[in-house]
Amino acid sequence: EADIYQTPRYLVIGTGKKITLECSQTMGHDKMYWYQQDPGMELHLIHYSYGVNSTEKGDLSSESTVSRIRTEHFPLTLESARPSHTSQYLCASSGASGRSGYEQYFGPGTRLTVT
Amino acid sequence: GQQVMQIPQYQHVQEGEDFTTYCNSSTTLSNIQWYKQRPGGHPVFLIQLVKSGEVKKQKRLTFQFGEAKKNSSLHITATQTTDVGTYFCAGWSPGGYQKVTFGTGTKLQVIP
Protein backbone atom coordinates (compact mmCIF):
# COMPACT_ATOMS: atom_id res chain seq x y z
CA GLU A 1 0.00 0.00 0.00
CA ALA A 2 1.32 3.43 -0.96
CA ASP A 3 2.21 5.94 1.74
CA ILE A 4 0.20 9.00 0.80
CA TYR A 5 -2.03 10.72 3.32
CA GLN A 6 -4.77 13.29 3.17
CA THR A 7 -6.40 15.24 5.98
CA PRO A 8 -9.10 15.86 6.81
CA ARG A 9 -11.03 12.96 5.30
CA TYR A 10 -14.32 14.79 5.62
CA LEU A 11 -14.98 18.51 6.02
CA VAL A 12 -18.20 20.49 6.26
CA ILE A 13 -17.67 24.23 6.23
CA GLY A 14 -19.61 27.41 5.69
CA THR A 15 -19.44 29.69 2.68
CA GLY A 16 -16.62 32.22 2.73
CA LYS A 17 -14.29 30.27 5.00
CA LYS A 18 -10.65 29.69 4.13
CA ILE A 19 -9.62 26.04 4.12
CA THR A 20 -6.45 24.06 3.52
CA LEU A 21 -6.49 20.43 2.47
CA GLU A 22 -3.34 18.59 3.46
CA CYS A 23 -1.50 15.98 1.41
CA SER A 24 1.73 14.25 2.36
CA GLN A 25 3.69 11.35 0.91
CA THR A 26 6.65 9.48 2.34
CA MET A 27 7.84 7.86 -0.89
CA GLY A 28 10.17 10.68 -1.93
CA HIS A 29 8.16 11.22 -5.12
CA ASP A 30 8.99 14.38 -7.01
CA LYS A 31 5.63 14.66 -8.80
CA MET A 32 2.37 15.44 -7.00
CA TYR A 33 -1.14 16.17 -8.23
CA TRP A 34 -4.53 17.41 -7.05
CA TYR A 35 -7.72 16.17 -8.67
CA GLN A 36 -11.36 17.10 -8.18
CA GLN A 37 -13.91 14.33 -8.59
CA ASP A 38 -17.67 14.48 -8.19
CA PRO A 39 -19.29 11.14 -7.18
CA GLY A 40 -19.18 8.63 -10.02
CA MET A 41 -17.60 11.11 -12.39
CA GLU A 42 -14.22 11.61 -14.03
CA LEU A 43 -11.16 13.06 -12.34
CA HIS A 44 -10.23 16.63 -13.22
CA LEU A 45 -6.62 17.72 -12.76
CA ILE A 46 -6.58 21.07 -10.95
CA HIS A 47 -2.93 21.45 -9.92
CA TYR A 48 0.32 19.57 -10.30
CA SER A 49 3.91 19.91 -9.25
CA TYR A 50 7.06 18.36 -10.69
CA GLY A 51 9.26 19.29 -7.77
CA VAL A 52 9.95 21.74 -4.97
CA ASN A 53 8.94 25.32 -5.87
CA SER A 54 7.29 24.09 -9.07
CA THR A 55 3.50 24.30 -9.45
CA GLU A 56 1.24 24.38 -12.48
CA LYS A 57 -2.49 24.69 -13.04
CA GLY A 58 -4.36 21.80 -14.59
CA ASP A 59 -7.18 21.79 -17.11
CA LEU A 60 -9.99 22.53 -14.68
CA SER A 61 -10.36 26.18 -13.75
CA SER A 62 -10.01 26.37 -10.02
CA GLU A 63 -10.08 29.09 -7.40
CA SER A 64 -7.65 27.14 -5.28
CA THR A 65 -3.92 27.59 -4.85
CA VAL A 66 -1.13 25.15 -4.00
CA SER A 67 2.41 25.33 -2.71
CA ARG A 68 5.34 22.91 -2.79
CA ILE A 69 7.93 24.01 -0.29
CA ARG A 70 8.91 20.48 0.73
CA THR A 71 9.05 17.37 -1.45
CA GLU A 72 6.67 15.41 0.74
CA HIS A 73 4.01 18.10 1.26
CA PHE A 74 1.53 19.55 -1.26
CA PRO A 75 -1.29 21.48 0.44
CA LEU A 76 -4.31 22.90 -1.42
CA THR A 77 -5.90 26.13 -0.20
CA LEU A 78 -9.30 27.62 -0.92
CA GLU A 79 -9.31 31.30 0.14
CA SER A 80 -13.10 31.58 0.21
CA ALA A 81 -15.13 28.39 0.03
CA ARG A 82 -18.33 28.33 -2.02
CA PRO A 83 -21.06 25.66 -2.43
CA SER A 84 -19.73 25.03 -5.96
CA HIS A 85 -16.52 23.74 -4.33
CA THR A 86 -18.41 20.81 -2.83
CA SER A 87 -16.68 17.71 -4.19
CA GLN A 88 -14.08 15.08 -3.44
CA TYR A 89 -10.44 16.16 -3.68
CA LEU A 90 -7.86 13.49 -4.44
CA CYS A 91 -4.13 13.92 -4.04
CA ALA A 92 -1.68 11.71 -5.90
CA SER A 93 2.05 11.35 -6.32
CA SER A 94 4.38 9.64 -8.74
CA GLY A 95 8.09 9.24 -9.25
CA ALA A 96 10.14 8.23 -12.24
CA SER A 97 11.80 5.65 -10.07
CA GLY A 98 8.51 3.82 -9.59
CA ARG A 99 7.96 0.39 -11.11
CA SER A 100 6.01 1.89 -13.97
CA GLY A 101 7.49 5.34 -14.42
CA TYR A 102 4.60 7.72 -13.93
CA GLU A 103 2.31 5.39 -12.02
CA GLN A 104 0.24 7.54 -9.70
CA TYR A 105 -0.48 6.59 -6.11
CA PHE A 106 -3.65 8.15 -4.77
CA GLY A 107 -4.51 9.23 -1.26
CA PRO A 108 -7.88 8.36 0.29
CA GLY A 109 -9.36 11.75 -0.61
CA THR A 110 -11.03 14.63 1.23
CA ARG A 111 -14.77 14.91 0.86
CA LEU A 112 -15.61 18.62 1.12
CA THR A 113 -19.09 20.03 1.65
CA VAL A 114 -19.60 23.79 1.62
CA THR A 115 -22.92 24.93 3.06
CA GLY B 1 -6.73 21.08 -24.81
CA GLN B 2 -6.38 17.35 -24.72
CA GLN B 3 -9.62 15.40 -24.33
CA VAL B 4 -9.95 11.73 -23.48
CA MET B 5 -13.30 10.03 -23.97
CA GLN B 6 -14.35 6.56 -22.89
CA ILE B 7 -17.20 4.39 -24.05
CA PRO B 8 -19.43 3.03 -22.83
CA GLN B 9 -20.23 5.21 -19.83
CA TYR B 10 -21.96 2.32 -18.06
CA GLN B 11 -21.99 -1.44 -18.63
CA HIS B 12 -24.02 -4.12 -16.88
CA VAL B 13 -22.93 -7.70 -17.52
CA GLN B 14 -23.85 -11.11 -16.19
CA GLU B 15 -21.07 -12.75 -14.25
CA GLY B 16 -18.99 -14.77 -16.67
CA GLU B 17 -19.60 -12.48 -19.65
CA ASP B 18 -16.81 -10.47 -21.24
CA PHE B 19 -16.45 -6.70 -20.97
CA THR B 20 -14.60 -4.09 -23.02
CA THR B 21 -14.08 -0.37 -22.52
CA TYR B 22 -12.61 1.92 -25.15
CA CYS B 23 -10.55 5.05 -24.64
CA ASN B 24 -10.03 7.71 -27.34
CA SER B 25 -7.77 10.74 -27.15
CA SER B 26 -8.08 13.88 -29.27
CA THR B 27 -4.27 14.06 -29.49
CA THR B 28 -1.37 11.64 -29.79
CA LEU B 29 -0.23 10.35 -26.43
CA SER B 30 3.16 9.58 -24.99
CA ASN B 31 1.76 6.72 -22.94
CA ILE B 32 -1.48 5.61 -21.42
CA GLN B 33 -2.38 4.15 -18.05
CA TRP B 34 -5.41 2.34 -16.73
CA TYR B 35 -6.84 2.69 -13.24
CA LYS B 36 -9.66 0.99 -11.35
CA GLN B 37 -11.75 2.75 -8.74
CA ARG B 38 -13.99 0.69 -6.50
CA PRO B 39 -17.16 2.34 -5.15
CA GLY B 40 -16.16 4.69 -2.34
CA GLY B 41 -12.46 4.17 -3.01
CA HIS B 42 -9.64 5.91 -4.79
CA PRO B 43 -8.15 5.04 -8.19
CA VAL B 44 -5.64 2.19 -8.19
CA PHE B 45 -3.08 1.77 -10.94
CA LEU B 46 -3.49 -1.28 -13.18
CA ILE B 47 -1.02 -0.92 -16.03
CA GLN B 48 0.90 1.41 -18.33
CA LEU B 49 1.28 1.10 -22.12
CA VAL B 50 4.04 2.97 -23.91
CA LYS B 51 4.67 1.50 -27.34
CA SER B 52 2.52 1.81 -30.43
CA GLY B 53 0.40 -1.35 -30.85
CA GLU B 54 1.42 -2.68 -27.44
CA VAL B 55 -0.65 -5.46 -25.88
CA LYS B 56 -0.33 -6.49 -22.24
CA LYS B 57 -2.17 -9.11 -20.24
CA GLN B 58 -2.86 -9.44 -16.54
CA LYS B 59 -4.71 -12.68 -15.87
CA ARG B 60 -8.21 -12.03 -17.28
CA LEU B 61 -7.44 -8.43 -18.32
CA THR B 62 -6.03 -7.52 -21.73
CA PHE B 63 -4.87 -4.00 -22.52
CA GLN B 64 -4.12 -2.60 -25.98
CA PHE B 65 -2.57 0.65 -27.19
CA GLY B 66 -3.47 1.73 -30.70
CA GLU B 67 -0.98 2.03 -33.53
CA ALA B 68 -1.45 5.80 -33.68
CA LYS B 69 -1.15 6.08 -29.88
CA LYS B 70 -4.50 7.85 -29.70
CA ASN B 71 -6.71 5.03 -28.46
CA SER B 72 -6.65 2.14 -26.08
CA SER B 73 -8.88 -0.64 -24.82
CA LEU B 74 -9.32 -2.81 -21.77
CA HIS B 75 -10.94 -6.21 -22.15
CA ILE B 76 -11.98 -8.41 -19.24
CA THR B 77 -12.67 -12.07 -19.95
CA ALA B 78 -15.27 -13.92 -17.87
CA THR B 79 -16.12 -11.10 -15.47
CA GLN B 80 -16.39 -11.72 -11.75
CA THR B 81 -18.16 -9.71 -9.05
CA THR B 82 -14.76 -8.51 -7.88
CA ASP B 83 -14.40 -6.65 -11.20
CA VAL B 84 -17.10 -4.16 -10.18
CA GLY B 85 -15.92 -0.56 -10.27
CA THR B 86 -15.13 2.31 -12.59
CA TYR B 87 -12.28 1.92 -15.04
CA PHE B 88 -10.40 5.03 -16.11
CA CYS B 89 -7.78 5.48 -18.74
CA ALA B 90 -5.25 8.29 -18.24
CA GLY B 91 -3.42 9.73 -21.23
CA TRP B 92 -0.06 11.47 -20.90
CA SER B 93 0.90 14.20 -23.35
CA PRO B 94 4.29 14.09 -25.08
CA GLY B 95 6.99 16.56 -24.21
CA GLY B 96 9.36 17.47 -21.44
CA TYR B 97 6.72 18.31 -18.83
CA GLN B 98 4.11 15.67 -19.42
CA LYS B 99 0.55 16.36 -18.34
CA VAL B 100 -2.09 13.76 -17.65
CA THR B 101 -5.75 13.75 -18.66
CA PHE B 102 -8.09 11.16 -17.24
CA GLY B 103 -10.80 9.64 -19.37
CA THR B 104 -14.48 9.95 -18.59
CA GLY B 105 -14.57 6.44 -17.10
CA THR B 106 -16.65 3.30 -17.62
CA LYS B 107 -18.67 2.05 -14.69
CA LEU B 108 -18.95 -1.74 -14.66
CA GLN B 109 -21.69 -3.59 -12.81
CA VAL B 110 -21.51 -7.39 -12.65
CA ILE B 111 -24.75 -9.25 -11.97
CA PRO B 112 -24.15 -12.50 -10.07
Contacts of A9 (CB under 8 A, 6+ apart): A108, A109, A110, A111
Per residue in A35-64, pLDDT (tens digit) is: 999 988 999 999 999 899 999 998 776 789
User: A102 vs B31: CB contact, 8 Å cut-off?
Assistant: yes
Q: Which residue of B has its CA nearest to A33?
A: B100
CB atoms within 10 A of CB B89: 30
Q: Which residue of B has its CA nearest to A89?
A: B42
pLDDT in tens, chain B (112 residues): 778 999 999 999 999 999 999 999 999 999 999 999 999 899 999 999 999 999 999 999 999 999 999 999 999 999 999 999 999 999 998 876 678 899 999 999 999 9
pLDDT of residue A99: 46
**Taking 70 as the threshold, does the pLDDT of residue A22 lie above it?**
yes
pLDDT of residue B68: 96
pLDDT of residue A39: 86
Domains of chain B are: 4-111 (2.60.40.10)
Give the whole-angstrom CA distance, residue A64 versus residue A76. Answer: 7
User: A106 vs B1: CB contact, 8 Å cut-off?
Assistant: no
User: A56 vs B43: CB contact, 8 Å cut-off?
Assistant: no
The correct CATH number of A11-114 out of 2.40.30.10, 3.40.50.2300, 1.10.10.10, 2.60.40.10 is 2.60.40.10
pLDDT of residue A2: 61
Chain B CB within 8 Å of residue A59 CB: yes
Q: Which residue of A has its CA nearest to B87?
A: A42
**Taking 60 as the threshold, does the pLDDT of residue A98 lie above it?**
no
One-letter amino acid at B11 equals Q
